[in-house]
């Protein structure tokens, strides 16, 4: 008998005999590895089978839980709410456990925590000076965004930065978003009294994310970039270029940033480190135009820095030592390989579906005949981005970045079951 | 010759002979301790004398710098801009180096960084569930604020939390602040389209900080608290109780929170950990009313959590293990002792000034005959909160929390010189 089947049977018995009850947390993969003296892969495979067979469920951020006690498991006919939990997250864009070198980041945090004197005072509104210096070099080298540290503002995510922008650009009243998808951004502008439109060229502020235009991972072509820059120069519209996910693309053909293309300086450039590092680190930044920098300086005393000073100090060292670029290459390889593996598995298992990989290499677009509804996905533990279910055709986007590589076969199997209307 | 005079002469000679030039950074206290093989206190005393004599200046967050090269020092008649730097910060409320047990906090951060799985996903909009659980217990025990974790929202400072409140309470249009001092709060409401008034009982939202009402550290008396709660219950006005600095008071007579006094549930309670821990940790929280919690839940997907997940996890453990209460007692003792020491020194050195210590024990109010202007303080390196200079009378508030204890005599000497019009 294979090792992982032994582990599988071990936990299955504990559950069926009621020693682990519904809702109980079972040991983590790491703990089991120690308890049972087997390899991590063995435990992962066993847990995967336990999940597939409905004994346990994975709760993101938390661990594995027994999805039903022995009694329920044998008798229940109705699906329990617990088993409706997300098993396969193909939507969140969270990171998987393989992607980030946490030990390295820990070193920088520890070193930051040793800078006692710096930790005794509040960070200045723009963010730590040395971090902004490092960012200035980094974005110049990477995206040809040339701006002095003076123009760079650090914040705990894009939302607080947009709130600052709303205050700085309060002579404008309308803003356009490409879709209604970026709810946090739309919310911020709305609550600051802006009129929010979708794809409205006449808006005074135009928000775009050219490296991740849609849930499909489309990239803005150079032609449209030039048009947008020209439009902004002619009309004076302020462009917000949210360059998130830019780290994951341009592997073959680097597309210039709007900021670099624009001569008139009407572009605010935004970037974030949640994708390259871990989502748990809340540091984003924006590069203001000259004019907006002047306004920022005027109201500086009204603005508090939101990002953790410790993490700012750590990130500064991390960037200076070249780890961001290294990490970017690593993750890009890792995520695109995973997306490719899932794509191949879908092509083999579900040949009737039309599938393509997005230009940024992170998202799989699926188009397939489908007579079910969105709930069918949830029932199988799949969280996917459904673009439309229309005239018997499903259009969906799958982002496997949060999925562990070992989960791919099971996720594809679940997807196949949903698409083929298998409700068992 | 005393040891510290030797250290003093050592650096003085290096500066006067031009081996350290104007603007050069000199070794930190720690480095000097190692280089010269003397105690930390010796170095601190030497640096203090070097500062007092104008050879070096302390730059908060950065270190000690030579304030003038040998030539300038001997020849210059005009005061150099560098020597106008803040030597004695009696205003910022930053922490001093003695106040915080950083090593302990480091342990919790390290432990948080080991929770790999949790660090791979975004924090939920309300903040980490276990932290909100711990906060719920903590504020119940400490301030009799009884609320389920469901109603607690975590954020990176008070400003992002107020931005959320602006969105939740957007059926109201006017807000009142006790003074114009809290610029960040006023800014947030203004940019969200609110009309901001000062001390306006008719406002639909009333912001107060009852534990720190003014720069003088006054505490709101119980009678006014009851009036305010009654007013809010009668008119439906929403009260924002920003309880910052509450940790430092109530040592003798606990004053109940507005939240606890209010039966109608019209009070939003806010708290922060920057004062008790270090300002570098950006975690605040608010307790919403039932109604605002419902609204939060509706727009939850539009809101991103701003606080660092690592720091949230660390703070949770830190609170659970009782360290906040311990640390609070420690700092309270430490800061009030320092304020008392400075108060005594002022009474002795400047008996003509009328001085009192604020109710919260952190601020010294000074009233004295004064024929100078605000710039006189800056010229002597003093940063103080000047309430008014009127009819030859100065009213000012001194908060010595950021001052190292050893600096007190020099700060008082500088203050005396300013008050007595000594411009040498």
B118, B304, B311 ranked by CB distance to A159: nearest: B304
Which helix (DSSP H) or strand (DSSP E) does residue A34 occupy? helix A29-36
Q: How many Å apart are CA A35 and CA A20, to the nearest integer?
A: 16
Quick check: B187 and A167 CB within 8 A? yes
Contacts of residue A406, Cβ cutoff 8 Å, sequence gap at least 6: A41, A44, A45, A48
B-chain residues within 8 Å CB-CB of A184?
Answer: 302-304
**Of residues B388, B394, B391, the one with CA closest to residue B415:** B394
Question: Who wins on pLDDT, B349 or A274?
Answer: B349
B-chain residues within 8 Å CB-CB of A119?
Answer: 100, 102, 278, 280
For the stretch B92-146, pLDDT in tens is 767 777 777 788 888 999 999 988 888 888 889 999 999 999 999 999 988 889 9
Quick check: A110 and B106 CB within 8 A? yes
Q: How confident is the model at residue B1 (pLDDT cuts 50, 70, 90)?
A: low
- Give the residue on B whose Cα is nearest the Cα of A160: B160
pLDDT at residue A424, rounded to an integer: 63
- Give the residue on B whose Cα is nearest the Cα of A185: B302
**What string of DSSP letters covers B215-259?**
TT-----HHHHHHHHHHHHHH-PEEEEE-TTGGG--SSSPPPPHH
B304: pLDDT strictly greater than 80: yes
In angstroms, the separation between the Cα of residue B141 and the nearest Cα of chain A is 28
Q: How confident is the model at residue B4 (pLDDT cuts 50, 70, 90)?
A: confident
Q: How many Å apart are CA B332 and CA B324, to the nearest integer?
A: 12
Q: How is residue A144 written in tokens? A: 């040809």
- Give the residue on B whose Cα is nearest the Cα of A101: B116
In angstroms, the separation between the Cα of residue A356 and the nearest Cα of chain B is 26
For the stretch A376-401, pLDDT in tens is 898 899 989 888 888 899 999 998 98
Q: How many Å apart are CA A147 and CA A151, to the nearest integer?
A: 6
In angstroms, the separation between the Cα of residue A77 and the nearest Cα of chain B is 32
Quick check: A119 and B402 CB within 8 A? no
- Give the residue on B whose Cα is nearest the Cα of A281: B308
User: What is the residue-averaged pLDDT of chain B?
Assistant: 85
**What string of DSSP letters covers A338-359?**
HHHHHHHHHHHH-TTSEEEE-T
CA atoms within a 13 Å half-sphere pointing along the CA-CB vector of B94: 23
Quick check: B299 and A187 CB within 8 A? yes
**What string of DSSP letters covers A215-270?**
TT-----HHHHHHHHHHHHHH-PEEEEE-TTGGG--SSSPPPPHHHH-SS--EEEE
B58: pLDDT strictly greater than 50: yes
Q: Which residue of A121, A182, A311 is the best one to mutate when testing the B interface, meaning the one whose CB has the most B CBs within 10 A?
A: A121
Q: Residue A206: is it exposed, middle or buried by C-beta count within 10 angstroms (0-12/13-18/19+)?
A: buried
Which helix (DSSP H) or strand (DSSP E) does residue B337 occupy? helix B323-349
Bridge partners (DSSP) listed for residue A66: A56
A-chain residues within 8 Å CB-CB of B111?
Answer: none
pLDDT at residue A150, rounded to an integer: 96
A99, A123, A280 ranked by CB distance to B310: nearest: A280
B60, B167, B280 ranked by CB distance to A119: nearest: B280
Per-block average pLDDT, block size 10, for chain A (424 residues)?
76 77 81 80 77 71 66 35 68 73 88 87 92 95 91 96 97 94 94 96 94 73 91 95 71 74 90 80 94 96 94 95 84 86 95 89 90 88 87 91 89 94 74
DSSP B401: G
Handedness of CA B115, B119, B122, B128 (dihedral sign): positive
Contact indicator for A154, A130 with CB cutoff of 8 Å? no
Q: Which residue of A119, A153, A312, A331 is the best one to mutate when testing the B interface, meaning the one whose CB has the most B CBs within 10 A?
A: A119
Q: How many Å apart are CA B86 and CA B51, to the nearest integer?
A: 11
- Give the residue on A whose Cα is nearest the Cα of B105: A113
- Give the residue on A whose Cα is nearest the Cα of B156: A306
pLDDT at residue B254, rounded to an integer: 62
**Of residues B126, B94, B69, the one with CA closest to residue B362:** B94
For the stretch B374-424, pLDDT in tens is 888 988 999 898 888 888 999 999 989 888 889 999 999 999 999 998 766
pLDDT at residue B69, rounded to an integer: 38
Q: How is residue B96 written in tokens? A: 């001093």
In angstroms, the separation between the Cα of residue B187 and the nearest Cα of chain A is 6
B71: pLDDT strictly greater than 80: no
pLDDT at residue A247, rounded to an integer: 62
**Cβ burial A312-328 (10 Å sphere, 16+ → b, else e):** bbbbbbbbbeebbeebb
A-chain residues within 8 Å CB-CB of B108?
Answer: none
Contact indicator for A288, A168 with CB cutoff of 8 Å? yes
The predicted model gives B307-323 an average pLDDT of: 94
Contacts of residue A117, Cβ cutoff 8 Å, sequence gap at least 6: B28, B61, B62, B63, B97
Phi-psi label, residue B190: left if phi above 0, alpha if psi -120 to 50, beta otherwise: alpha
Contacts of residue A134, Cβ cutoff 8 Å, sequence gap at least 6: A315, A316, A319, A320
Residues in chain A, total:
424
B92, B192, B303 ranked by CB distance to A184: nearest: B303
- Give the residue on A whose Cα is nearest the Cα of B276: A120
In angstroms, the separation between the Cα of residue B53 and the nearest Cα of chain A is 23
Return phi, psi of residue A148, to 5°: -70, 155
Q: Which residue of A244, A298, A308, A309 is the best one to mutate when testing the B interface, meaning the one whose CB has the most B CBs within 10 A?
A: A308
Quick check: A274 and B109 CB within 8 A? no
Quick check: A304 and B184 CB within 8 A? yes
In angstroms, the separation between the Cα of residue A352 and the nearest Cα of chain B is 33
B121, B163, B308 ranked by CB distance to A61: nearest: B121
**Of residues A56, A50, A87, the one with CA closest to residue A383:** A87
Quick check: B311 and A308 CB within 8 A? yes
Contact indicator for A80, A23 with CB cutoff of 8 Å? no
pLDDT at residue B2, rounded to an integer: 67
Quick check: A279 and B63 CB within 8 A? no
The predicted model gives B23-51 an average pLDDT of: 79
Contacts of residue A182, Cβ cutoff 8 Å, sequence gap at least 6: A207, A209
Q: How many Å apart are CA A374 and CA A394, to the nearest integer?
A: 10
Task: Please report, for residues A36, A246, B371, the alpha-carbon distance to residue B398 in angstroms, rounded to integers and kept in the order given.
Answer: 63, 49, 19
Quick check: B120 and A303 CB within 8 A? no
Q: How is residue B318 written in tokens? A: 């830190």
In angstroms, the separation between the Cα of residue A183 and the nearest Cα of chain B is 5
B-chain residues within 8 Å CB-CB of A316?
Answer: none
Q: How many Å apart are CA B5 and CA A85, to the nearest integer?
A: 70
Alpha helices in A302-407 (DSSP H): 309-320, 323-349, 374-379
B-chain residues within 8 Å CB-CB of A32?
Answer: none
A-chain residues within 8 Å CB-CB of B122?
Answer: 92, 94, 274, 279-280
- Give the residue on B whose Cα is nearest the Cα of A95: B120
Quick check: A119 and B97 CB within 8 A? no
Q: How confident is the model at residue B245 (pLDDT cuts 50, 70, 90)?
A: low
pLDDT at residue B77, rounded to an integer: 33
Q: How is residue A220 written in tokens? A: 């803005």
Q: How many Å apart are CA A403 and CA A219, to the nearest integer?
A: 23
Residues in chain B, total:
424
Q: How many Å apart are CA B182 and CA B408, to the nearest integer?
A: 28
Return phi, psi of residue A25, to 5°: -90, 130
Quick check: B120 and A95 CB within 8 A? yes
Quick check: A121 and B94 CB within 8 A? yes
B-chain residues within 8 Å CB-CB of A40?
Answer: none
Quick check: A279 and B310 CB within 8 A? no
pLDDT at residue B81, rounded to an integer: 39
pLDDT at residue A50, rounded to an integer: 75
pLDDT at residue A44, rounded to an integer: 77
B62, B109, B191 ranked by CB distance to A192: nearest: B191
Question: Who wins on pLDDT, A10 or B315?
Answer: B315
**What string of DSSP letters covers A120-154?**
GSPPPTT--HHHHHHHHHHHHHHH-----GGGEEE
Q: How many Å apart are CA B238 and CA B172, to the nearest integer?
A: 9
CA angle A174, A177, A180 (to 5 degrees): 120
């Amino acid at each position: 008998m294979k090792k992982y089947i032994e582990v599988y049977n071990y936990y299955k018995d504990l559950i069926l005999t009621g020693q682990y009850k519904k809702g109980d947390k079972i040991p983590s993969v790491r703990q089991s590895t120690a308890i049972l003296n087997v390899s991590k892969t063995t435990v992962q495979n066993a847990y995967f089978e336990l999940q597939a067979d409905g004994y346990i469920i994975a709760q993101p951020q938390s661990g594995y839980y027994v999805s039903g006690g022995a009694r329920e498991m044998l008798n229940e006919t109705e699906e329990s709410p617990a088993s409706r939990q997300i098993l396969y997250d193909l939507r969140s864009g969270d990171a998987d456990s393989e992607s980030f070198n946490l030990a390295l980041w820990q070193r920088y945090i520890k070193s930051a925590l040793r800078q006692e004197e710096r930790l005794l005072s509040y960070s200045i509104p723009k963010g730590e000076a040395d971090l902004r210096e490092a960012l200035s070099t980094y974005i110049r080298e990477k995206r040809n965004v040339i701006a002095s540290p003076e123009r760079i503002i650090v914040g705990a995510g894009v939302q607080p930065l947009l709130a600052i922008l709303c205050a700085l650009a309060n002579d404008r009243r309308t803003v356009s978003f490409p879709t209604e998808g970026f709810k946090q951004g739309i919310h911020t502008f709305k609550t600051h009294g802006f009129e929010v439109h979708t794809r409205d060229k006449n808006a005074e502020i135009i928000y775009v994310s050219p490296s991740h235009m849609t849930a499909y991972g489309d990239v803005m072509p150079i032609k449209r970039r030039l048009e947008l820059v020209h439009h902004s120069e002619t009309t004076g519209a302020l462009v917000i270029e949210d360059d998130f996910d830019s780290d994951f693309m341009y592997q073959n053909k680097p597309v210039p940033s709007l900021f670099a293309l624009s001569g008139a300086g009407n572009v605010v450039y935004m970037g974030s480190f949640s994708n390259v590092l871990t989502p748990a680190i809340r540091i984003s930044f924006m590069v203001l135009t000259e004019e907006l920098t002047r306004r920022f300086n005027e109201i500086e005393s009204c603005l508090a820095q939101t990002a953790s000073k410790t993490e700012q100090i750590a990130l500064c060292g991390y960037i200076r030592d070249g780890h961001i670029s290294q990490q970017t290459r690593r993750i890009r390889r890792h995520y695109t390989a995973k997306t490719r593996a899932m794509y191949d598995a879908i092509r083999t298992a579900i040949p009737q579906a039309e599938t393509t990989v997005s230009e940024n290499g992170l998202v799989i677009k699926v188009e397939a005949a489908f007579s079910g509804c969105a709930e069918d996905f949830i029932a199988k533990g799949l969280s996917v981005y459904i673009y439309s279910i229309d005239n018997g055709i499903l259009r969906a986007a799958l982002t496997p970045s949060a999925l562990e590589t070992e989960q791919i076969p099971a996720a594809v199997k679940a997807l196949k079951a949903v698409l083929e209307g298998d409700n068992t």
